[in-house]
Amino acid sequence: MSILIRNGRVIDPKSGLDEVIDVFVNGNTIEKIDKHIRKTGSDVRSIDASGHIVAPGLIDTHAHLREPGYEWKETIRTGTMAATKGGFTSVVCMANTNPVNDNKSVTDYIIQKARSEALCRVFPCGAITKGLKGEELSDMGELYESGIVAISDDGKSVKNSAVLLKAFEYSRLFGIPVISHCEDEDLSRGYVHEGRASLLSGLDAVPAIAEELIVSRDIAIAKYANAPVHLTHISSGGSVNIIQHAKKSHKKITCDTCCHYFSLTDEATLGFDTSTKVNPPLRSKEDVEAIKEGLRNNTIDIIATDHAPHEGTSKDVEFDIASFGISGFETAFALSLALVHEGVMTLPDLLRKFTVNPAKLLKLPYGQLAPGKVADIIIFNPDVEWKVDRNSFLSRGKNSPFHGWVLKGKNLLTLVDGKIVYRDKSFKA
C-alpha cells in the first residue's frame, strides 16, 4: 500500500523544509516530497492534508510503560496506543519495571513484547544499577548488546558518586547516554515544592535545591569522565541556570523538561488534587518562566512526557500517600503547542525538541521527514480546540490534572513505518 499526503504544510526541522507540498510514501519509506505529485491506482491511498501540518513522528525520550510487572497500570499495548494518539512514533521506556530492566532477559522481553503488540517503536532504557539500588552497576555491556539505547535509574538518583562515575565511563565506551534523575534523596522527602503554596497547604515540601545540587554534581562527574549526560525532567529555574553555564565548558550536556513544568505551577496543588503530585514537584511561577526561557534559548534541548500512568486506587487517596505521576502521552504535544501560540518559540523550533534532538541524543535514524527516510509521520492542526476528557484516554492511566482543560492543537493522524496506526475520528482521511 502507498500513501499520498497532499496539500499539507510540511515541516522538517532537520532540513529546514517548511512549505505546502506533497509527500509520497511507498511501503515503509518516504519516496518523494514535491509539489503536485501524481500517483494513482487502487493501491494508492490519497490523504488531503489541506490546512494541516505534516511533520516527522514525535520521539519521547522518557516514558513509563509499566510492563513487565505493573500491567494493571499500563501495558506496552495500551501505552503505545496512547502514544500514537498523542503523535509519538518512538518512545523510550524507563527501567523501573518489576523485575527491573537491569539484565538481558528483561530487555529481551520488552523488545519481543513490543514487536508483537506495540503500535509504535519502543526502545528500552536499562538500569544503571542492579535493582535500582544505587550500589552495584548493572551489566551494561549485556544490556547494550540486547538493545538498550540509554541507562537510567529514573525515579532515583545514584547516590554513590563512585558508582555513577563508573557508569559514565562505561556509557562513553558504549556510546549511550546516562539519563540522570536529579534529586537529592535526603532533601526530597516531601510531596510539593517548597514555597508559598506549601505553606498554605501544610504539605511536606521539597526545596528546589534538592534538584539543583544533583544537577551540579552529575555535570561535574560527567565532565570529569568526559562523558555525555542527559538531565531529565528539569523543573527548577536554578537548574536551567546551572545547565546554561555548564554547557559552555562541557559540550556533552543535554537536558529535557516536561509539559507540566511549563503548564502548571505549585498553586495547582492547593486543591489537593493528587493528579498534580509529580516528581520532581510542580514549581513556582518564576520557575515556570525560567523553564520557558530555557526552551526558548535552547538551554533545554528536548520536551519529554514522563508518561507515568496509575490505576485509580493509587491516586484516589490522601495526597501524601498517592503515587507520583501524570498520564502524559495524550496531552503533551497539545500543551506544548501553547508555547507556539504564546510566542515563546516557532513551530519548527518546537518540533525540533520532539524530533531531531531526541533522535540525536539516542542515535536513532528517525525524526526526519525526507526522501529515503522511514515513514514515521504525523498530521496535526495547531489551531483545533478540544476538551481533555481523561475518561477517553487510550492509556490505562487516567491520572491527569488537565482533565476539563480546553487545549489548542490536536494530532489527527499517525503513521508508523508507513502504516496508519491512529486516526482522529474528526479527520476524514
Task: Indicate which residue of 266, 287, 306, 424 is catalytic.
Answer: 306
The one-letter amino acid code at 220 reads A
Contact 66, 76 (CB under 8 A): no
Q: Give the residues across from 126 on adjacent strands.
A: 151
Q: What is the DSSP string of 378-423?
A: EEEEEEEEEE--GGG-SSS----TTTT-EEEEEEEEEEETTEEEEE
Kindly tell me the burial class for residue 225, based on how many C-beta atoms sit within 10 Å of its own C-beta (0-12, 13-18, 19 or more): buried
Least Cα distance to 61 among 94, 85, 86, 87 occurs for 94
Helix H or strand E encompassing 354: helix 347-354
> Three-class SS of residue 18?
strand
Which residues, 6 or more positions from 387, have their beta carbon under 8 angstroms from its beta carbon?
404, 405, 406, 407
Contact 94, 86 (CB under 8 A): no
218 belongs to the catalytic site:
no
Residue 228 CB neighbour total at 10 angstroms? 20
d(CA 81, CA 86): 9
Least Cα distance to 301 among 355, 342, 341, 224 occurs for 355
d(CA 313, CA 310): 8
| Grid cell at residue 359 | 533522535
Angle at 380 between CA 377 and CA 384, to 5 degrees: 170
Residues with active-site annotation = 306
